[in-house]
Chains A and B, each alone.
Chain A
């Protein structure tokens, strides 16, 4: 609820059409970049290690990658999809939409991306091993927003990363 109030305030002050404009350079190209970023993030973060543990099993017991007994449309899974979409919109609007764009008016773009991604990593208050991938994610999302002049690719990437992490967590 607090997040929704914050995003409502942002949308009241700013133009949603500008923030969520179609990506400059085309939807296909932006989705391609999101796909590459998602794959790289999954490979570079602990995702690959988690997958390895799942396939070989912890203490000799392999675990499913997709939750057992999953069926579509699974209500809990659909609820998670919706929840992560809202989270992605709110976090991207606050961090990349308002903070990064404001800082860019006074400081170089790289500095805006770096400081906002550091903030994004730290405010999740996780152990350092989890904070570094979050900072990296923030930087990639920041670059996507700079390149395509729209929050949409960053929202899609954010939503996909969160949902994949949720799937892996649920299947534990």
Chain B
């Protein structure tokens, strides 16, 4: 204690004590914030988008660390969106990258925003968002991968509105919709599998229609073939429909088995 007698030593030891106290306070606040965020997530998972924003406001008032704050703001934006306030949701997405740069939540917000612009055919804005998302986080992180993939696919949807709508419907599942429980996850997987099955069946009908007509009207031409004989259009249809239906069923079962309870809340 003798050494602390000099003013400098006393000042330094005071700073150390203050720093330790501050760190302790921060870690306590952070743990409390994590609890609040978890509770808000639980409320949203149960479909309570009215109660969750109050929890989030309380969390944000406690000045949590930027990563938690970004996650909390994303969740609050999602609640606004569920309640039908799309503008407030988009505004929160635009705000997050400026307030909490370099966080995972920031990259996630930029990806969500980019997907929103891509859906509305604002490709330049979408490209800007995805490129910025890549600079926000580690290039190997999940959101950087999504952003990179979206950048590569950005120019793909240029054609018929029907085709675009179909692909958007499929991408909505592939790229993270909101799955509050395993039932909605399986329902979405079933929706996707049936959409794919319908596309395949329509394509098969177009492909086999000329064959079916030909088989009704002309005998097969003798050709050197790898087959023992030509298959009938009915048999081909049966085999392919069975194959694709079983495949669709496998996809749905796999989705049911692989549900991990993730709550992902962007487009």
- Chain A residues within 8 Å of B, Cβ to Cβ: 1-3, 5-6, 9-10, 13-15, 18-19, 21, 46, 49-50, 53, 58-61, 63, 94, 97-99, 101-107, 111, 115-116, 118-119, 122-123, 125-130, 145, 149-151, 172
Main DSSP-derived SS at the A contact region: helix
Q: Which chain B residues lie closer than 8 Å to A128 at the CB level?
A: 156-159, 163
Q: Is B36 an interface residue (CB 8 A)?
A: no
By CB atoms of chain B within 10 A, which of A59, A104, A116 has the most?
A: A59
- Nearest residue, chain A, Cβ from B212: A106
Which of chain A's residues has its CB closest to B217's CB?
Answer: A106
Set of chain A residues within 8 Å of B163, measured between Cβ atoms: 128
A3 and B243 alpha carbons, distance in the complex (Å): 6
CB-defined interface of B206-241 with A at 8 Å, one 1/0 digit per residue? 110011001100101101111110110000100110
The reply to whether B221 and A106 form a contact with Cβ atoms under 8 Å apart is yes
Q: Do residues A129 and B135 form an inter-chain contact, with CB atoms below 8 A?
A: no
Give the A-B pair count, Cβ closer than 8 A.
Answer: 129
- List B residues 141-168 near A (Cβ within 8 Å): 145, 148-149, 151-153, 155-159, 163, 167
Q: Is the CB of B134 within 8 A of A125?
A: no
Ordered nearest first, which 6 A-B pairs have the shortest CB separation? A2-B246, A129-B156, A106-B214, A127-B156, A59-B134, A122-B203
B139 at the interface (CB under 8 A from A): yes
Q: A94-B240, A106-B215, A129-B155 are in contact. Are A3 and B135 (CB under 8 A)?
A: no
Q: How many residues of B contact A (CB 8 A)?
A: 50
**Contact present for A98 and B236 (CB under 8 Å):** yes
Partner of A97, one of B145, B199, B226, B246: B226
